[in-house]
């Protein structure tokens, strides 16, 4: 019989239709098997029902030939709300259940792998048994697994049950308990202190909430890493490559024990599933699978070597071959208690080695390079896993040392450029590390998946069906597949992404975004500017020295400068922990200063030199905000006297106020402040409160700052700009695609400028 006749009138229940295999399977059912109908188990998401998710799938171009999405939902396919954790009651009129869903990550969290691949499979099998009993019909259960389910064995792998004595129930319970114990361990006092200390080093100057958020990020990252490692190590101790293949094996054993004695059961094991040869069209692929990240990294010159044996087989199978095999297997139910096993693979009769793939990829990028491809593509010598491991480890040590040096370097455009190059090198090394750790067992595997039963199933097709429904992988022309289909398809997506990134990079490099005038009647738009390091080079220490020394005679100036130099190391250390404490200590030096005389000095002497230091680009930006009708705000930790020359440019000046006492009709600073300095998180809190009171639109507002300390402030507005940023802020800005400007870049802000009157020792 023709396949369409065998499956005519059959009703399928599918899982995983929003994934790669499930989507391709649903497409063939709806487009090429008009006599079939389907029920799709689809998990709803917040704000999106399962039906809406299925509708989004059906609107993709590959379903166009089947009809409109709404029509298909009314006549051919039904959305069943639920997921593998809560499988609902299944319809009683289903003929075939095809379980495509599963956690396919090679390094999943141990609990996620067991929950999806084992307990989720059990829930589906039990619901299928219930539906079969209620409907009084033999439902064919088709379980899509993986060819690598056999573990770390070598040689021929037969199409039959994997030989092992591991109890899937015990391992599932143990795995879930282990994940919970790791979560509990992360909350032990000692570990929490470690997370907190690390967060204080990075975020202490920004404020306690930033520290708390950083500590929690570290705790969650630690839990994630430990739960992944626990799954991997348990799998390896039992003979599997990773938690993915281990839990898939446990899922198979579950199916063999629970489903096979009662239902016709098929277990189908694809190898590495990649893009289509023919259907739905040559090169069709959804997302990136195993090979794509490696292909793209090589094309960019980012992967200079790979830890594979050149003669090892990389067992690739096109997605349409997998779907065709699933459909023919669905039409060929085995007897009860005799589950059928099929390897959908290529390595046995059409082997493809890693060196073959490397040469195909190299040839393709030689002819069709990326814009970012190097002039000379990397040459892989295949030195072996140990040699690549040594190279990656050396790179990790070098980038780690470079990062520590950058933390001490003065702020400048050159330093940011170095950090950008270092980050690029670090990402390449992290990429190599990740894929070496994930794929090492696969790249060095010496496996041959026997596919005799799969070939026999293919040969059972009606000759008239072979062209449309065949899945003999020996007929795949790998040269044409890689050079004319797979690589062009994969890189086409990335070339689009690269163009988008290029435009974003150009926009960021061009400086702050174009301003939009405030429409009449609209909420106020704010433009907040930091001072030191943003509008002008230098630090609060520079302005303090200039103002404080103005009221002293020569000996006193030298003495005060000496005091600053003695305290400076301690102040710098204090600033890294708590900038507010640093400012309090520094401004104690104003004790006894005549504030009227100080302000006169600022207006007459300090202001002209001060204004000359401000970048003309910064002044133009401030004026542009004023012209656009934005409310301008100067926000600084410095004292109000320093801000006097700029008062006319801003609608609000938020700064530190020196406390004062009256003595003989003079206003004297007493060395204290009227309120805590506004730094770090306090700036963000002030801005949120100000916007609330004034009814301002923070999403449309702007902020400009130079330091990682001001990250809370920058995140408060919709249009942040990093100005001459330090390395930590520069990295955040790049990752967040914020504009970066260089208004005060001419002078490194960490370099203390010694006033000339101190050097001269004269009034």
Q: Which residues of the chain have pLDDT under 50?
A: 745-763
DSSP-derived pairing of the beta strands 666-673 and 658-663: antiparallel
Evaluated on CA atoms 64, 70, 75, 80, the torsion sign reads: positive
Strands (E), 256-306: 265-270, 272-274
Q: CA 677, 640, 695: angle at the middle one, nearest 5? A: 70
pLDDT value of position 331: 96
The pLDDT tens digits for 148-162 are 998 888 888 999 999
Are 51 and 136 contacting, i.e. CB atoms less than 8 angstroms apart? no
Q: What is the dihedral of CA 562, 566, 570, 571, to 10 degrees?
A: 0
Neighbours of 449 (CB within 10 A): 24
* Residue 151 backbone class (left: φ over 0; alpha: ψ -120 to 50; beta: rest): left
Calculate the alpha carbon distances from 652 to 490, 529, 621, 655, 709 in Å: 53, 10, 16, 10, 21
The pLDDT tens digits for 274-330 are 999 999 999 999 877 777 888 888 898 888 888 888 888 889 999 999 999 999 999
CA–CA separation, 695 and 526 (whole Å):
11
CA–CA separation, 658 and 590 (whole Å):
8
Are 640 and 622 contacting, i.e. CB atoms less than 8 angstroms apart? no
Q: CA 688, 689, 694: angle at the middle one, nearest 5? A: 100
Neighbours of 602 (CB within 10 A): 21
CA–CA separation, 684 and 709 (whole Å):
11
pLDDT value of position 759: 38
Neighbours of 713 (CB within 10 A): 28
pLDDT value of position 387: 77
Q: How is residue 491 written in tokens?
A: 């890189």
CATH domain 526-760 topology: Rossmann fold (3.40.50)
Q: What share of the chain is helix, strand, coil (3-state, %, to 5)?
A: 55, 15, 35
> For 3-166+238-502, CATH number?
3.40.50.720
Distance in Å from the first CA to the final CA of the chain: 107
User: Considering the entire predicted model, what is its pTM?
Assistant: 0.80
Q: CA 247, 251, 253: angle at the middle one, nearest 5? A: 115
Are 145 and 252 contacting, i.e. CB atoms less than 8 angstroms apart? yes
């Amino acid at each position: 019989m023709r396949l369409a006749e065998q499956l005519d009138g059959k009703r399928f229940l599918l899982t995983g239709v929003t994934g790669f295999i499930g989507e391709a399977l649903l497409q063939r059912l709806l487009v090429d098997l008009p006599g079939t109908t389907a029920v799709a188990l689809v998990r709803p998401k917040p704000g999106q029902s399962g039906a809406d998710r299925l509708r989004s799938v059906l609107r993709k171009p590959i379903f166009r030939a089947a009809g409109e999405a709404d029509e298909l939902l009314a006549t051919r396919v039904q959305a069943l709300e639920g997921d593998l954790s809560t499988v609902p009651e299944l319809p009683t009129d289903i003929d075939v259940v095809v379980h495509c869903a599963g956690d396919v990550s090679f390094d999943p969290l141990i609990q996620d792998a067991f929950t999806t691949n084992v307990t989720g499979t059990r829930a589906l099998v039990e619901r299928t048994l219930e539906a079969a009993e209620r409907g009084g019909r033999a439902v064919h259960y088709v379980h899509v697994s993986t060819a690598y389910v056999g573990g770390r064995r070598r040689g021929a792998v037969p199409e039959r049950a994997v030989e092992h004595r591991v109890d899937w129930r015990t391992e599932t319970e143990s795995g879930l308990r282990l994940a919970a114990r790791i979560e509990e361990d992360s909350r032990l006092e000692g570990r929490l202190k470690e997370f907190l200390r690390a967060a204080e080093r990075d975020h202490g100057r920004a404020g306690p909430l930033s520290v708390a958020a950083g500590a929690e990020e570290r705790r969650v990252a630690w839990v994630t890493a430990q739960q992944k490692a626990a799954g991997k190590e348990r799998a390896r101790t039992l003979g599997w490559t990773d938690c993915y293949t281990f839990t898939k094996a446990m899922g198979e054993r579950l199916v063999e024990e629970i489903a096979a004695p009662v239902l016709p059961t098929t277990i189908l094991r694809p190898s590495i599933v990649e893009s289509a040869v023919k259907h739905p069209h040559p090169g069709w692929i959804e997302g990136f699978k195993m090979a794509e990240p490696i292909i793209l990294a090589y094309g960019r010159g980012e992967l200079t070597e790979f830890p594979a044996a050149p003669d090892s087989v990389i067992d690739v199978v096109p997605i349409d071959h997998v779907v065709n095999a699933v459909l023919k297997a669905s039409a060929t139910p085995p007897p009860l208690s005799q589950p059928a096993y099929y390897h959908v693979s290529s390595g046995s009769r059409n082997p493809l080695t890693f060196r073959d793939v490397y040469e195909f990829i190299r040839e393709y990028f030689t002819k069709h390079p990326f814009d970012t491809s190097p002039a000379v593509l990397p040459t892989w010598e295949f030195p072996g896993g140990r040699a690549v491991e040594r190279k990656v480890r050396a790179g990790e040590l070098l980038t780690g040392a470079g990062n520590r040096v950058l933390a001490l370097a003065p702020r400048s455009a050159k330093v940011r450029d170095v950090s950008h190059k270092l980050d690029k090198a670090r990402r390449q090394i992290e990429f190599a590390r990740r894929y070496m750790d994930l794929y090492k067992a696969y790249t060095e595997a010496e496996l041959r998946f026997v596919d005799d039963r799969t070939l026999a199933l293919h040969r059972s097709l009606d000759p008239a069906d072979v062209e449309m429904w065949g899945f003999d992988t020996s007929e795949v022309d790998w040269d044409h597949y890689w050079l004319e289909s797979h690589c062009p398809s994969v890189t086409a997506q990335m070339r689009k992404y690269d163009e988008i990134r290029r435009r974003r990079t150009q926009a960021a490099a061009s400086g702050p975004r174009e301003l939009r005038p405030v429409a009449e009647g609209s909420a106020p738009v704010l433009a907040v500017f930091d001072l030191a390091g943003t509008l002008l080079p230098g630090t609060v220490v520079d302005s303090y020295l200039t103002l404080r020394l103005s009221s002293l005679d020569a000996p006193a100036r030298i003495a005060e400068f000496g005091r600053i130099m003695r305290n400076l190391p301690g102040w710098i250390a204090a600033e890294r922990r708590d900038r507010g404490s640093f400012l309090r200590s520094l401004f104690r030096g104003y004790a006894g200063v005549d504030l009227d005389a100080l302000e006169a000095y600022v207006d007459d002497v300090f202001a002209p030199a001060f204004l000359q230091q401000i970048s003309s680009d910064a002044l133009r930006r401030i004026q542009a905000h004023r012209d656009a009708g934005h409310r301008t705000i100067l926000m600084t930790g410095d004292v109000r006297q320093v801000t006097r020359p700029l008062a006319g440019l801003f609608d609000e000046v938020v700064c530190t106020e020196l406390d004062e006492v009256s003595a003989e009709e003079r206003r004297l600073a007493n060395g204290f402040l009227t309120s805590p300095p506004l730094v770090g998180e306090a700036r963000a809190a002030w801005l949120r409160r100000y916007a609330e009171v004034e009814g301002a639109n923070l999403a449309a507002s702007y902020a400009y700052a130079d330091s990682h300390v001001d990250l809370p402030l920058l995140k408060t507005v919709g249009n942040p700009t990093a100005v001459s940023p330090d390395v930590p802020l520069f990295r955040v800005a790049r990752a967040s695609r914020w504009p970066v400007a260089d208004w005060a870049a001419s002078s490194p802000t960490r370099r203390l400028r010694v006033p000339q009157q101190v050097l001269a020792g004269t009034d």
